Chains A and B, each alone.
Chain A
């Protein structure tokens, strides 16, 4: 008898307990138990992970900041006449032709300067933060999609797959599962490279493993083997039934993976989440070619990404899947504003996040980043949007998760952001509000002893905080509901080292960031 069958028949509640590590762990997010789920939801998200920290300023160039960029990163800055026009104040890297086409078709959303307070510049720590959706100060052990799936399927992996859920919940298109899908007991994603080369594995016969660390690992291995067989059968079936209509670029690994995803979806696979890693963005050196800033390693990556995503969404549309699939990029951080002498950039802070598909709210969300006259050493882009607000909004709009549950999955200060629309109904009011700029002024700047801050509240909850050039939230000036009208606050210079700072005003889902210099 197969192990899985054995478990099912005896009804034993075998779980793999979480092995707590010696490291100190902070509070975990509260487990949400979702109440209002729509079983007919057929939405799919594809996450493209840009491994290494993507240099947003070399993707989307804020033209209103071009002169200051020329001062800070002259040796790598893209020449104006080679850029692709997108809006009057934003041009794309010339390699992003495919994305420009998506943008012009209203199928691209760009969220400006996405990050989190107290940016951690370690690849590994920051990636953990982006994968889990934790605050910078806490180490969480489950991924954001892992928690979402676990709230729906708390006993996974025991007795999965089953008749009701025969397909993998998530697939990582790589040889290592993505931490975004890590649950308490196991990872909700399976790996897949080639859907046509899956052959059945020998399954061990059922003996109850001992209640020891050895037994736990043995149980993990047995479940992995039997699940692999069951899911593989479903994948092979979908691959045989599916097809692609549009051509994909050749010599493009990412395109191959996206093509497989389109194939599997068209063949009826019900997987909700696909993760596709794309490595090489840690461009400390030779990000651009010396003397030819439009060429180099980063340009190659951007054209791979852009061509692949463009072909993928054209194919999805041709297959009639356009309204079911959205693609989103993420990366552990952006890079510093200043370039180094190796024609590269070092680890920084915020960066733009991109979404693609028929159901995105098209265009830019947020203002262009502000590049100071004198950029500090190690300075990154000031964060405008918290990545957890993007994640949570995706769960709300795409998977119909109620806002309260989203708060429990991430944090209580969650703010909805209009990044996706359920295609049929657009939240017009939210869009209208988003379009209006918030009022935030600070004077004088530069300042020494203190500066005056003026802003207008619409009666909403208001958070005003000060970030330094490293992306740390150094002060919270207010964080409460404020009455309608004009408000003035004093920013005390005492205790602030000279340098570039950024005031970030958040009012419900809208935010505004203004730079200020302390001397």
Chain B
């Protein structure tokens, strides 16, 4: 057997072809199958954004359980976003944070602060290692959706910091905190919900989207899990809350939530039989928390959030089997843990179901995941200083925006459609408009790069080669990059086509020889340019394959 054949065989063992089974039978029990590159890559692709080759190999060594433990290790809150270079802020020096600073009547301070918030957010994702925190923060952002109807970045900062704090914390306490969060109070008009004319907006979404979900309509105004009368009663329970500090220019006004007893409905509120006909009497500023405790008495709340976690981490289709063997045990675990998310998430990410061969690959990456996968997996380097890095991160933000996922601006209160709209789900990300932007993005980083005022941000083929275990073998280059970038192996015909890009019409040893020459003459510009150019063309082709769109 020649060397190449040995190599190919070895590599193909890394991800053997799928057996032809079409339905999943595994459940929430711990996974006990093989732990190798393919499984570690799957775990990190789903729980983080765009894992690097190095991190995947690190996870292989750590093992499954230890990787999940590290993914769910509590971390300190990151330092807040700062004024990077805006000289004219009378309240905030360059290098200081603006999150508690007022605005100015003359100078537009909101603009630079919004940019700062967005680039900071993308920077956190971009710099994250083996941690699921940013993926969970975005999960909650999608769940407790608040969008660009709000303009004050201070509100967004406070809101996202809350979600990040509770990444895998207690779901019930998170709902309480979100209910009186200033951004949410404004977004769903909780701040205008007053005793004389209640505004139902928040009460409805609290039930329908945030906690228990809506069942089939089985009677007049009766949606199985709650009724129109509950919405009306709960709106009254939630009356009296307000927030202050929105876009305020007054340095003496702090951003805060407050309770105004005069606007609170103190009458008894009657819930329906769906909530056991409970009557809620006046409890002032504690009444909202009492209400949330009542809602969380219903086990359906646990199922509802577990289905959403499933759709975020596993797959959009929840089969009857998954409902019985995954969702229900998750829900029972959640109830047993008094609604702490961490044990449930740990069980899911450790489960046989999560690592089932059929669940590896069928998730279409959302735009942020897509952008981050290209940038992080190919380890595209960003310029050195923070200011320039922030510009690059903002570029990633606006690229994802064009692909229809804008952080801090989900389309409406239900979040991004890909996570709830039947029957298309993740496929909603893909259409004639977004495909052009996706391919435009990967083409750009593989050609002229993004111009951000100094060195363009682009893929470096020589640096990519240094990441690989066996860069001298053209087949290995393709195999290793495929294992990094694609969830499932390519067909032979595709590999042949890719090799035709790397070494068009030449025998394999030509690559080995030429790369060897480059290694011994690293300062030979001609050699460097020619190796880099071949590699970049290969990467460009790989990133344009629809396989790269899948996770």
Contacts and interface: CB of A to CB of B under 8 A. Distances in A.
Interface string B1-36: 000000000000000011011100000000000000
Given A124-B414, A221-B549, A221-B550, 8 more contacts: A19-B317, A122-B214, A182-B423, A201-B439, A214-B18, A285-B192, A344-B192, A378-B200
Interface stretch (A60-68, A100-108, A225-233, A300-308): A225-233
B320 A22 contact: yes
Nearest to A174: B433
A488 interface: no
Given A221-B549, A472-B221, A231 B541 contact: no
A176 B403 CA distance: 10
A335 to B, nearest CB: 11
B545 interface: yes
Interface string A97-129: 000000000000000000000101111110010
Interface string A197-229: 111011011111011111011101110110110
Nearest to A468: B220
Interface stretch (B82-90, B354-362, B504-512): B354-362
A190 B432 contact: yes
Contact of A224 (B192, B423, B435, B550): B435
Interface residues of A, number: 75
B290 to A, nearest CB: 23
A193 interface: yes
B430 A221 contact: yes
B153 interface: no
B78 interface: no
Nearest to A336: B200
A22 B318 CA distance: 5
7 contacts: A21-B422, A22-B322, A187-B424, A205-B497, A214-B18, A347-B200, A470-B220
B221 A470 contact: yes
A337 to B, nearest CB: 13
Interface string B181-201: 000000011001010111111
Interface string A13-41: 00000111111100000000000000000
Contacts of A199: 436, 440
Contacts of B189: 284-285, 342, 344
Contacts of A21: 316-318, 422-423
Given A284-B201, A340-B199, A378 B494 contact: no
A17 B178 CA distance: 40
Contacts, number: 206
Contact of A175 (B318, B434, B491): B434
B364 A217 contact: yes
Interface of B: 17-18, 20-22, 188-189, 192, 194, 196-201, 204, 208, 214, 216-217, 219-221, 223, 228, 232, 315-320, 322-323, 327, 357-364, 404, 411-414, 417, 420-424, 426-428, 430-436, 439-440, 487-488, 490-491, 493-494, 497, 541, 544-547, 549-550
A342 B192 contact: yes
Contacts of B421: 179
A118 B220 contact: yes
B199 A121 contact: no
A221 B546 contact: yes
B362 A216 contact: yes
Contacts of A192: 432-433
Contacts of A205: 493-494, 497
A474 B220 CA distance: 7
Interface string A452-486: 00000000000000001010101000000000000
Contacts of B320: 22
The 9 nearest A-B residue pairs measured at CB: A472-B220, A207-B491, A221-B546, A22-B318, A342-B192, A214-B361, A213-B362, A341-B197, A202-B544
Contact of A218 (B21, B196, B435, B550): B550
Given A218-B546, A378-B232, A213 B315 contact: yes
A214 to B, nearest CB: 4
Contact of B431 (A177, A222, A474): A177
A122 B21 CA distance: 38
